[in-house]
Amino acid sequence: MLNKSYLKEVFQSSMLKDVMQPNIMFVQCHLLSGEVFILYCVTIISKNYSNIIETLNFKRATHYNGPYTVLQSVRQFQQPIQAQKAGLDGKQVGKETLPPPFTVSILSDGPRSQRSLSSLRSLSDCGNNMASSFSRILSSKRNVGILSLVGAGSLTVGLLLNREQHVSAGAPVRRVYPASAEYPDLRKHNNCMASHLTPAVYAKLCDKATPNGYTLDQAIQTGVDNPGHPFIKTVGMVAGDEESYEVFADIFDPVIVERHNGYDPRTMKHPTDLDASKIRSGQFDEKYVLSSRVRTGRSIRGLSLPPACTRAERREVERVVVNALGGLQGDLSGKYYSLTDMSEKDQQQLIDDHFLFDKPVSPLLTCAGMARDWPDARGIWHNNEKTFLVWINEEDHTRVISMEKGGNMKRVFERFCRGLQEVERLIQEKGWEFMWNENLGYILTCPSNLGTGLRAGVHINLPRLSKDARFAKILDNLRLQKRGTGGVDTAAVGSTFDISNLDRLGQSEVHLVQTLIDGVNFLIECEKRLEKGQDIKIPAPISQFK
Of the residues 225, 259, 293, the one at which a domain ends: 259
Q: How far apart are CA 262 and CA 253, in angstroms?
A: 10
Of the residues 115, 136, 168, the one at which a domain ends: 168
310 in any annotated domain: yes
Do 97 and 212 belong together in one domain? no
83 in any annotated domain: yes
Do 284 and 248 belong together in one domain? no
Sheet holding 103-106, edge to edge: 30-33, 36-43, 154-160, 144-150, 103-106
Do 324 and 253 belong together in one domain? no
468 in any annotated domain: yes
49 in any annotated domain: yes
Q: How far apart are CA 355 and CA 447, in angstroms?
A: 24
Question: What pLDDT was estimated at residue 364?
Answer: 81
CA distances from 229 to 273, 459, 490 (A): 32, 22, 12
Q: Where are the alpha helices (DSSP H) in 334-373?
A: 344-352, 363-366
The range of the structural domain enclosing residue 194 comes to: 179-259
Do 232 and 102 belong together in one domain? no
Do 291 and 432 belong together in one domain? yes
> What residue numbers does the annotated binding site cover?
291-295, 354, 399, 455-459, 483-488
3-state SS string for 67-78:
CCCCEEEEEECC
173 in any annotated domain: no
Do 321 and 377 belong together in one domain? yes
> What residue numbers does the annotated binding site for ATP cover?
291-295, 354, 399, 455-459, 483-488
CA distances from 244 to 165, 168, 169, 308 (A): 13, 11, 10, 11
Pairing of strands 30-33, 36-43: antiparallel
Do 148 and 191 belong together in one domain? no
Do 250 and 326 belong together in one domain? no
Do 185 and 164 belong together in one domain? no
Do 142 and 213 belong together in one domain? no
Between helix 249-259 and helix 216-225 the angle, nearest 10°, is: 40
In the chain, the number of structural domains is 3
Q: How far apart are CA 500 and CA 484, in angstroms?
A: 11
Do 308 and 332 belong together in one domain? yes
71 in any annotated domain: yes
- DSSP state, residue 449: G
> Phi/psi of residue 461, each to 5°?
-100, 115
Q: How far apart are CA 53 and CA 423, in angstroms?
A: 39
> Phi/psi of residue 459, each to 5°?
-95, 120
Partnered with residue 103 across adjacent β-strands are 150
Question: What pLDDT was estimated at residue 546?
Answer: 57
Q: How many CB atoms lie within 10 A of CB 330?
A: 8
Q: How many CA atoms lie within 13 A of 12 on its CB side?
A: 11
What CATH number is attached to the domain comprising 502? 3.30.590.10
What CATH number is attached to the domain comprising 252? 1.10.135.10
Question: What pLDDT was estimated at residue 488?
Answer: 52
Question: What pLDDT was estimated at residue 124?
Answer: 35
Of the residues 112, 146, 168, the one at which a domain ends: 168
Pairing of strands 289-298, 455-461: antiparallel
543 in any annotated domain: no
Question: What pLDDT was estimated at residue 369?
Answer: 87
Do 254 and 299 belong together in one domain? no
| Mean pLDDT per 10-residue interval, the chain, length 546 residues | 45 38 32 34 33 31 30 31 34 38 30 30 38 45 36 34 47 82 95 97 97 96 87 89 98 98 96 98 96 98 97 98 97 93 74 67 81 91 94 95 97 98 97 97 98 98 97 97 66 81 97 98 98 96 76
27 in any annotated domain: yes
